[in-house]
Amino acid sequence: MASIAKASEERFAKIAEFYESQGARGRPSPGDRIFIAEDEGRLLGAVRLCQEEGILVLRTMRVAASHQRQGIGSRLLRALVRELAGQDCYLLGYAHLEGLYGLEGFAKIEAATLPPHLQERLKLYLAEWSDLIPMRRTASASPAT
């Protein structure tokens, strides 16, 4: 079974390679908090929590195709949510993952309620991927049971 852990910055290069192998454009940056799923030294998934313009943003969540639908994404998301420490968190996610994010208290919001820099990012992303939705987890949200 895959173990979930917070990655040190020394692991960021390997995480960047994993993201690239999964077709993700996002890359780890200093200061990011990244949670990884590994099994016997093999990266199976990763998710980044970034501080941007004073807010927290969930970015670049990927699970290797060969290990999807095995609970790894849920476990990564749960680890990230514990790191929020009572702060709001935003994400721009694929619509088909709305239920997954909803399990940890994220809810779909109107694009107009996003912080300005995320509104701009969403506009750019929607030019390439039409199936994205903005979501937010408020500080007071609780996970679904």
Q: Give pLDDT tens digits along the chain (145 positions).
A: 789 999 999 999 999 999 999 988 889 999 999 999 999 889 999 999 999 999 999 999 998 888 788 889 999 999 999 999 889 999 999 999 999 999 999 999 999 999 999 999 999 999 888 899 999 999 888 765 4
Phi-psi map region of 69: left, alpha, beta (phi>0 left; psi -120 to 50 alpha): left
Q: Considering only CA atoms, which of 83, 68, 81, 82 is closest in space to residue 37?
A: 68
Q: What's the rounded Cα separation, in Å, for the pair 103 and 142?
A: 9
Spatial contact of 73 and 58, defined as CB atoms under 8 Å apart: no
Is the domain 3-137 a CATH 3.30.450.40 member? no
pLDDT at 143: 66
pLDDT at 13: 93
SS3 109: coil
Q: What's the rounded Cα separation, in Å, for the pair 84 and 87?
A: 5
**So where are the chain's domains?**
3-137
pLDDT at 145: 43
